[in-house]
Amino acid sequence: MSRLNDHQRCSHAVRVLGLAAIEQARSGHPGVVLGFADVLTVLWREHMRYDVTYPEWPARDRFVLSNGHASALYYAVLHCVGFDLSLDDLRQFRQLGSKTPGHPERDVQLGTDVTTGPLGQGLANAVGIAMAEHYLCHKTKTQKPQSAIQFHTYAAVGDGCLMEGISHEACSLAGRLGLGRLIVCWDDNDISIDGRVEQWAEKSVVGRFQSYGWQVIDGVDGHDPEAINHAITQAKSCQSQPSLICFKTRIGLGTDWEGTAQVHGKPLGEKRFSQYKQSVGWALDDFTLTDDVYGAWRQNVLASQRDAWSALSKQILDPYWADYFASYTDGLSENNHHILPSDWEDQWAAWLQDDSVVSNQPTATRHSSQSCLAALVEQMPSLIGGSADLAESTGVSLPSLGSWDPCGEPSQFIHFGVREFAMFAIANGLATCCGLRPFVSTFLVFSDYGINAVRMAALMNLPVIFIFSHDSVFVGEDGPTHQPIEHLAHLRSIPQLEVWRPADAQETAVAWKSVLERTDGPSCMVLTRQKLMPIDRGELIWQCYHGASRLDAYGSECHGLLIATGSEVNVAVQVQQRLAQEGLLLGVISMLCLERFLGASDAFKKSILTASGFRMIIEAGSSSCWYQLLQGVDGCVCGIDHFGTSGNGEAVYHLHGFSVDELCEKARQLHKQVALI
619 is catalytic: no
Q: How far is CA 375 from the centre of its chain?
A: 24
Least Cα distance to 572 among 652, 638, 671, 485 occurs for 638
676 contacts: CB under 8 Å, gap ≥ 6: none
Least Cα distance to 293 among 82, 111, 80 occurs for 80
**Rounded to an integer, what distance in angstroms lies between the CA atom of residue 637 and that of residue 154?**
50
Q: In one letter, which amino acid is 243?
A: S
**Rounded to an integer, what distance in angstroms lies between the CA atom of residue 309 and that of residue 304?**
9
DSSP 529-555: SSEE-----TTTHHHHTTT-EE-SS-T
DSSP 123-142: HHHHHHHHHHHHHHHHHSBB
Helix, strand, coil shares of the chain as percentages rounded to 5?
Answer: 45, 15, 40
The three-point CA angle 291-295-297 to 5° equals: 120
β-strand 614-618 against 586-590: which pairing, if any? unpaired
Cβ-contact 617, 563 below 8 angstroms: yes
DSSP 8-state code for residue 9: H
Single out the catalytic residue among 46, 169, 334, 420. 420
Q: Cβ-count burial of 279 within 10 angstroms (0-12 exposed, 13-18 middle, 19+ buried)?
A: exposed
β-strand 437-443 against 383-387: which pairing, if any? parallel
Query: Using alpha carbons only, how large is the chain's radius of gyration in Å?
Result: 28
The dihedrals phi and psi of 652, each to the nearest 5 degrees, come to -65, -40
Cβ-contact 454, 526 below 8 angstroms: no
Beta bridge partners of residue 465, listed in sequence order: 439, 523
Least Cα distance to 638 among 675, 663, 610 occurs for 663
308 contacts: CB under 8 Å, gap ≥ 6: none
Least Cα distance to 13 among 75, 92, 64 occurs for 75
CA distances from 426 to 21, 43, 174, 384, 615 (A): 32, 23, 10, 12, 41
Cβ-contact 432, 113 below 8 angstroms: yes
**Rounded to an integer, what distance in angstroms lies between the CA atom of residue 185 and that of residue 183?**
7
Cβ-contact 157, 186 below 8 angstroms: yes
Cβ-contact 289, 107 below 8 angstroms: no
**Rounded to an integer, what distance in angstroms lies between the CA atom of residue 327 and that of residue 436?**
15
**Rounded to an integer, what distance in angstroms lies between the CA atom of residue 266 and that of residue 585?**
66
411 contacts: CB under 8 Å, gap ≥ 6: 401, 402, 403, 404, 405
Q: How far is CA 308 from the centre of its chain?
A: 32
Q: Which residues are catalytic?
A: 420
